[in-house]
Amino acid sequence: MRARRPVRAFAALAAAGLVGGLVASCSSGGSPAAGIGYVVDGAVPTYNVASAVGDESAARQAFVRVQTGFSYPGPHGETIADTDFGTVTPVAGDPSSIQYRINPAANYSDGAPVVCDDMVLAWAAQSGRFTAAGADGAEVPLFDAPVDPAMARIAAIDCEPGSREAVVHYEGDRAVKGWRSVFGATSMLPSHVVARGAAGIEPGAAAEGQEGGQGSGTSDAPGPPAPAGVDIVQAVQDEDLDAMRSIAHYWNTAFELKPGTADPGVFVSSGPYRLDTVDEDGSIELVANESWWGDKARTERIAIHPRSASVNTLAADGEIEVVDTGAGAKQAMDLGEGYATTVTATDDVEQLIFAERGPLATAAARRAVAACVPRGQIAESFAPGAPTSEATPVQDSRSTLPGTLAYGFVSGTSGGGFIEPDVAAAQAALAEAGLDGLTVRVGYRAPDARRAAAVSQMAKACAPAGIQIHDSGSADFTPQALEDGVVDAVLGGTAGSQSGPPRGPATPLARLAALTTGASGNIGGFSNGRLDEIVGTLQVTGEGADALGLTREAEQILWDEMPTLPLYRTPRQTSFVDGLHAGAPTTSWAGAGWNMDRWMVLN
pLDDT, mean over the chain: 88
Residues in the chain: 603
Predicted model pTM? 0.86
Q: How far apart are CA 21 and CA 15, in angstroms?
A: 10
Give the number of C-alpha atoms closer than 13 A to the C-alpha of residue 467, restricted to the C-beta side. 37
CB 282 within 8 A of CB 307: no
At 495 the three-state DSSP class reads helix
361-407 residue pLDDT tens:
999 999 999 999 999 999 999 887 533 434 458 999 999 988 888 99
Q: What is the DSSP string of 199-245?
A: TTPPTTPPPTTSGGGS----SSS---SPPSS--HHHHHHHT-HHHHH
Handedness of CA 382, 41, 63, 25 (dihedral sign): positive
486-509: average pLDDT: 84
Chain centroid offset of residue 330 CA: 20
CB 113 within 8 A of CB 107: yes
Cα Rg of the chain, angstroms: 24
Where does 317-441 have alpha helices with state H?
363-372, 375-382, 407-411, 423-432
Q: How far apart are CA 214 and CA 208, in angstroms?
A: 9
More confident residue, 167 or 11: 167
Q: Which DSSP letter does residue 362 get?
A: S
Q: How far apart are CA 320 and CA 312, in angstroms?
A: 9
Shortest CA distance to 520 belongs to which of 126, 241, 47, 245?
Answer: 126
Q: What is the DSSP string of 273-296?
A: EEEEEE-TTS-EEEEE-TT--SSP
Residue 301's DSSP bridge partners are 35, 287
Q: How far apart are CA 77 and CA 74, in angstroms?
A: 5
59-78: average pLDDT: 94
Amino acid occupying residue 174: R
Chain centroid offset of residue 277 CA: 23
Amino acid occupying residue 52: A
Residue 382's DSSP bridge partners are none
Q: How far apart are CA 356 and CA 61, in angstroms?
A: 31
The CA distances from residue 426 to 429, 470, 566, in Å, are 5, 17, 17
51-77: average pLDDT: 93
The CA distances from residue 253 to 239, 247, 590, in Å, are 21, 10, 24
pLDDT at 505 (0 to 100): 63
Confidence of residue 88 (pLDDT cuts 50, 70, 90): very high
Q: Give every CB contact of residue 121 below 8 A, 6+ residues apart in sequence.
A: 188, 189, 191, 194, 232, 236, 247, 251
Q: What domains can be seen in the chain, in order of their start residue?
A: 10-48+258-343+575-601 (3.40.190.10), 67-252 (3.90.76.10), 344-571 (3.10.105.10)
Chain centroid offset of residue 425 CA: 37
Q: How far apart are CA 314 and CA 595, in angstroms?
A: 22
100-119 residue pLDDT tens:
999 999 999 999 999 999 99
Q: Give every CB contact of residue 375 below 8 A, 6+ residues apart in sequence.
A: 394, 418, 419, 420, 565, 567
Span of 130-144, 166-180, 303-317, 445-459 with lowest mean pLDDT:
303-317
The CA distances from residue 138 to 133, 134, 141, 241, in Å, are 5, 5, 10, 16
Confidence of residue 32 (pLDDT cuts 50, 70, 90): confident
Shortest CA distance to 274 belongs to which of 253, 302, 250?
Answer: 302
Burial classification of residue 295, based on how many CB atoms lie within 10 Å of its CB (0-12 exposed, 13-18 middle, 19 or more buried): exposed
What count of other Cβ atoms lies within 10 Å of the Cβ of residue 315? Answer: 23
Residue 590 φ then ψ, to 5°? -75, -15
Handedness of CA 243, 245, 248, 249 (dihedral sign): negative
2-15 residue pLDDT tens:
434 434 433 333 33
More confident residue, 542 or 123: 123
301-311 residue pLDDT tens:
999 998 766 77
Q: How far apart are CA 253 and CA 465, in angstroms?
A: 47
172-191 residue pLDDT tens:
889 998 899 999 999 999 99
- Is the pLDDT reported for residue 456 higher than 90? yes
- Is the pLDDT reported for residue 223 higher than 50? no
Specify whether the backbone of 177 is left (phi greater than 0), alpha (psi in -120 to 50) or beta: alpha
- Is the pLDDT reported for residue 408 higher than 80? yes
